[in-house]
């Protein structure tokens, strides 16, 4: 990333369908694996964006994506998904701002509890969520059922 981007002001806005390519580039640069044939594909994202439960946000600086988060709610809880910050912008509060914005928008829809799933190896992400007020919840096993390996 060029020097001028590293100093540019960060602002947060809603993700749009046409942002897909830039979002994927950010996922790559931020080291977030994605499933282009499944739930992270272009068509899947377009469908998700039409749901009124989706709060999908990007952080931009100097016209470049420096962070993103896919928030949502299921009526009971708000979920923080696919949070990523460009390495050139890490530890500059971008992740915290993105999560706070999702929480604010979901709280306006009546949601009072927020959650995220973090893989055990991801010490940085666990430290991040603890720092912004999330408490680890022990004693839960995560079960999934998939239509296919790609989904």
Ligand X SMILES: CC(C)(COP(=O)(O)OP(=O)(O)OC[C@H]1O[C@@H](n2cnc3c(N)ncnc32)[C@H](O)[C@@H]1OP(=O)(O)O)[C@@H](O)C(=O)NCCC(=O)NCCS
Residues that bind ligand X (CB under 6 A): 30-32, 83-85, 90-96, 116, 118, 122, 124-125, 127-128, 131
Question: Which residue number, 54 or 61, has a Cβ lying nearer to ligand X?
Answer: 61
Strand partners, 54: 72
Strand partners, 13: 58
| 132 Cβ contact partners less than 8 Å away, ≥ 6 residues apart | 95, 96, 99, 100
Question: Which residue number, 44 or 100, has a Cβ lying nearer to ligand X?
Answer: 100
Residue 116 near residue 81, CB atoms below 8 Å: yes
Nearest-approach distance from CB 28 to ligand X, in angstroms: 11
Nearest-approach distance from CB 61 to ligand X, in angstroms: 12
CB neighbourhood size of 97 (10 A): 18
| 21 Cβ contact partners less than 8 Å away, ≥ 6 residues apart | none
Nearest-approach distance from CB 39 to ligand X, in angstroms: 15
Question: Which residue number, 43 or 119, has a Cβ lying nearer to ligand X?
Answer: 119
Nearest-approach distance from CB 124 to ligand X, in angstroms: 3
Question: Which residue number, 49 or 116, has a Cβ lying nearer to ligand X?
Answer: 116
Strand partners, 14: 57
């Amino acid at each position: 990333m060029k020097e001028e981007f590293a100093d540019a002001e960060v602002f947060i806005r809603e993700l749009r369908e046409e942002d897909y390519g830039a979002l994927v580039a950010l996922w790559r640069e931020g080291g977030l694996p994605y499933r282009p044939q499944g739930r992270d594909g272009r068509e899947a994202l377009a469908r998700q964006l039409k749901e009124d439960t989706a709060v999908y946000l990007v952080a931009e600086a100097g016209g470049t994506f420096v962070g993103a988060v896919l928030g949502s709610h299921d009526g009971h809880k708000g979920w923080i998904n696919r949070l990523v910050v460009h390495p050139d912008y890490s530890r500059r509060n971008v992740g915290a701002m993105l999560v706070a914005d999702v929480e604010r928008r979901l709280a306006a829809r009546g949601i009072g509890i927020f959650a995220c799933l973090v893989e055990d190896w991801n010490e940085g992400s666990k430290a991040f969520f603890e720092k912004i007020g999330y408490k680890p919840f022990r004693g839960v096993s995560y079960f999934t059922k998939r239509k296919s390996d790609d989904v």
